[in-house]
Amino acid sequence: MPSVGVVIPAGGRGVRFGGRIPKQFQILGGLPILRTTVAIFHSLKEVSEVVVVVPPANVVSVSREMARAGLTKVAAVVPGGRERQGSVRNGLMSFKNRPDIVLVHDAVRPLVSPATIRQVIRSAQKGGAAVVGVRLQDTIKTEYPRGFYQKTLDRSNLWAVQTPQGFRYDVLLKAHQKANRDRFTGTDESSLVERLGIAVRIVEGDERNFKITTRRDLELAKILMKRRK
């Protein structure tokens, strides 16, 4: 069985919505969202280490929180960069033991299922790179000129990409090194890996694995969390 490490970027600067508390530290089900997300990966036997990347000002407090919660697979809590890409790169370099497979998962997707995580691990092990996605249900149009749509896209080939995204460690490290040399900033990890000419497999995910970015998202997550319990 390959060793699996997880990098959880939790906001380089601590993005907020509707208040002073960064969204990754908002309370969901009685616990901070970040702690809930880390606990999901900690519970999986496949995962050997977790690295959490947080704003520099939160490194000490989050380290203490992880220790108090008994999340012993958290190998390190490290400061993030100015952008997500730099934060993930910091996380990649912070494992105690370099894993065979590395997963990158948004801290504010606390409703990801263990089944989805395991599918990504298997697909990344087999092909080198895998992402979770859901098929788009809405009709998608491109705009040009501004205020007018140009054409309607074929949604049968369109996916909304989620996390975790999984890669062989050497593949993702090489992708980050190339992006750094080229001064390229991607929208996610798979966009960096694509530049190596490596095909990225899509694992069909779950719409409940959404990213909490607004107050409304948080309220919906609370409802779904109660149903899950």
User: What CATH code would you report for 4-228?
Assistant: 3.90.550.10
The 10s digit of each residue's pLDDT in 138-152 is 888 888 888 888 888
* Residue (of 35, 134, 51) closest to 99 by Cα position: 51
Residue range 198-222: mean pLDDT, rounded: 94
Residue 19 has pLDDT above 70, yes or no: no
The domain locations on the chain are: 4-228
Q: pLDDT-based confidence at 59, cuts 50/70/90?
A: very high
Number of other residues whose CB lies within 10 A of the CB of residue 14: 18
pLDDT of amino acid 14: 45
The 10s digit of each residue's pLDDT in 62-89 is 999 999 999 999 999 999 988 899 999 9
Residue range 8-20: mean pLDDT, rounded: 66
The 10s digit of each residue's pLDDT in 90-104 is 999 999 999 999 999
